[in-house]
Protein backbone atom coordinates (compact mmCIF):
# COMPACT_ATOMS: atom_id res chain seq x y z
CA UNK A 1 0.00 0.00 0.00
CA UNK A 2 2.86 2.38 0.83
CA UNK A 3 4.47 1.73 -2.55
CA UNK A 4 1.26 2.58 -4.39
CA UNK A 5 0.79 5.79 -2.41
CA UNK A 6 4.40 6.83 -2.96
CA UNK A 7 4.12 6.09 -6.69
CA UNK A 8 0.93 8.14 -6.89
CA UNK A 9 2.50 11.09 -5.07
CA UNK A 10 5.67 11.03 -7.19
CA UNK A 11 3.66 10.74 -10.40
CA UNK A 12 1.44 13.64 -9.40
CA UNK A 13 4.46 15.76 -8.47
CA UNK A 14 6.09 15.04 -11.82
CA UNK A 15 2.97 15.96 -13.77
CA UNK A 16 2.49 19.17 -11.78
CA UNK A 17 6.15 20.12 -12.24
CA UNK A 18 6.02 19.60 -15.99
CA UNK A 19 2.75 21.48 -16.24
CA UNK A 20 4.40 24.50 -14.61
CA UNK A 21 6.93 24.62 -17.47
CA UNK A 22 4.24 25.10 -20.08
CA UNK A 23 4.37 22.97 -23.15
CA UNK A 24 0.91 23.84 -24.40
CA UNK A 25 0.48 25.35 -27.80
CA UNK A 26 -0.78 28.87 -28.18
CA UNK A 27 -2.83 29.29 -31.30
CA UNK A 28 -3.55 32.98 -30.78
CA UNK A 29 -2.24 35.40 -33.38
CA UNK A 30 -0.60 38.71 -32.50
CA UNK A 31 0.47 37.61 -29.04
CA UNK A 32 3.35 39.80 -27.92
CA UNK A 33 5.59 37.84 -25.54
CA UNK A 34 8.47 40.29 -25.44
CA UNK A 35 9.38 42.25 -22.38
CA UNK A 36 9.86 45.94 -22.97
CA UNK A 37 13.14 47.37 -21.70
CA UNK A 38 14.43 50.90 -21.69
CA UNK A 39 17.93 51.56 -23.00
CA UNK A 40 19.71 53.68 -20.43
CA UNK A 41 23.05 53.60 -22.20
CA UNK A 42 24.48 50.98 -19.86
CA UNK A 43 25.19 48.48 -22.64
CA UNK A 44 26.05 45.01 -21.34
CA UNK A 45 24.73 45.78 -17.86
CA UNK A 46 21.32 46.66 -19.30
CA UNK A 47 21.28 43.44 -21.34
CA UNK A 48 22.18 41.40 -18.25
CA UNK A 49 19.56 43.14 -16.10
CA UNK A 50 16.90 42.65 -18.77
CA UNK A 51 17.90 38.99 -19.23
CA UNK A 52 17.74 38.36 -15.48
CA UNK A 53 14.25 39.88 -15.35
CA UNK A 54 13.08 37.80 -18.33
CA UNK A 55 14.45 34.55 -16.88
CA UNK A 56 12.88 35.32 -13.51
CA UNK A 57 9.50 35.66 -15.24
CA UNK A 58 9.75 32.89 -17.83
CA UNK A 59 12.33 30.33 -16.65
CA UNK A 60 12.45 30.18 -12.86
CA UNK A 61 9.38 27.95 -12.53
CA UNK A 62 11.36 25.09 -14.12
CA UNK A 63 15.00 26.04 -13.65
CA UNK A 64 14.69 27.40 -10.11
CA UNK A 65 14.83 30.89 -8.66
CA UNK A 66 18.62 31.16 -9.11
CA UNK A 67 18.65 28.90 -12.20
CA UNK A 68 20.28 26.16 -10.11
CA UNK A 69 17.81 23.59 -11.37
CA UNK A 70 14.45 22.27 -10.30
CA UNK A 71 12.30 20.37 -12.80
CA UNK A 72 14.62 21.73 -15.51
CA UNK A 73 18.43 21.49 -15.44
CA UNK A 74 20.90 23.79 -13.66
CA UNK A 75 21.79 26.73 -15.94
CA UNK A 76 24.34 28.47 -13.72
CA UNK A 77 27.27 27.35 -15.91
CA UNK A 78 25.46 26.58 -19.17
CA UNK A 79 27.79 28.87 -21.15
CA UNK A 80 30.62 26.41 -20.53
CA UNK A 81 28.58 23.71 -22.31
CA UNK A 82 26.62 25.56 -25.01
CA UNK A 83 27.33 28.51 -27.29
CA UNK A 84 25.04 31.51 -27.56
CA UNK A 85 23.72 30.16 -30.86
CA UNK A 86 22.95 26.73 -29.34
CA UNK A 87 21.14 28.36 -26.41
CA UNK A 88 19.20 30.59 -28.81
CA UNK A 89 18.21 27.52 -30.84
CA UNK A 90 16.88 25.79 -27.70
CA UNK A 91 14.94 28.92 -26.70
CA UNK A 92 13.35 29.16 -30.15
CA UNK A 93 12.78 25.47 -30.91
CA UNK A 94 12.59 23.83 -27.50
CA UNK A 95 14.25 20.57 -26.55
CA UNK A 96 12.86 17.11 -26.01
CA UNK A 97 12.39 16.27 -22.38
CA UNK A 98 10.26 19.21 -21.36
CA UNK A 99 11.70 22.47 -22.73
CA UNK A 100 8.84 24.06 -24.69
CA UNK A 101 9.59 26.08 -27.81
CA UNK A 102 8.91 29.78 -28.12
CA UNK A 103 8.78 30.58 -24.40
CA UNK A 104 11.03 33.55 -25.14
CA UNK A 105 11.30 35.08 -28.60
CA UNK A 106 12.76 37.95 -30.56
CA UNK A 107 15.12 40.41 -28.91
CA UNK A 108 14.36 38.93 -25.48
CA UNK A 109 15.60 35.51 -26.63
CA UNK A 110 18.80 37.09 -27.92
CA UNK A 111 19.38 38.90 -24.60
CA UNK A 112 18.79 35.74 -22.58
CA UNK A 113 21.01 33.66 -24.86
CA UNK A 114 23.82 36.22 -24.62
CA UNK A 115 23.52 36.34 -20.83
CA UNK A 116 23.34 32.56 -20.38
CA UNK A 117 26.28 32.01 -22.77
CA UNK A 118 28.38 34.26 -20.49
CA UNK A 119 27.72 31.95 -17.52
CA UNK A 120 30.85 29.80 -17.60
Report the CATH number that the domain containing residue 83 is assigned in CATH.
1.10.760.10
Q: What pLDDT was estimated at residue 46?
A: 85
Closest CA to 16 of 98, 103, 74, 84: 98
For the chain, what is the total number of helices (H) and then of strands (E)? Answer: 5, 0
Inside any domain, residue 94: yes
Backbone angles phi, psi at 99, to 5 degrees: -80, 110
Range of the domain at 78: 43-120
User: For residues 70 and 102, what is the distance between their CA atoms, to the nearest angstrom?
Assistant: 20
Domain total for the chain? Answer: 1
Q: What pLDDT was estimated at residue 26?
A: 46
Contact 98, 72 (CB under 8 A): yes
Inside any domain, residue 26: no
Q: Over the chain, what is the mean pLDDT? A: 78
Q: What pLDDT was estimated at residue 14?
A: 60
Contact 17, 10 (CB under 8 A): no
Confidence grade of residue 113 (pLDDT, cut at 50, 70, 90): very high
Lowest mean pLDDT segment, chosen from 13-22, 34-43, 71-80, 107-116? 34-43
Lowest mean pLDDT segment, chosen from 3-17, 31-45, 54-68, 88-102? 31-45
Confidence grade of residue 44 (pLDDT, cut at 50, 70, 90): confident
Higher pLDDT, 52 or 19: 52
- Percentage of the chain beyond pLDDT 70 is 67
Higher pLDDT, 3 or 19: 3
Inside any domain, residue 68: yes
Amino acid sequence: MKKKLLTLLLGTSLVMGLAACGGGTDTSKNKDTTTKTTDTGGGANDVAAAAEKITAQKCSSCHGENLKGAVGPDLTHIGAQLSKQQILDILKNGKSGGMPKGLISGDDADKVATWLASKK
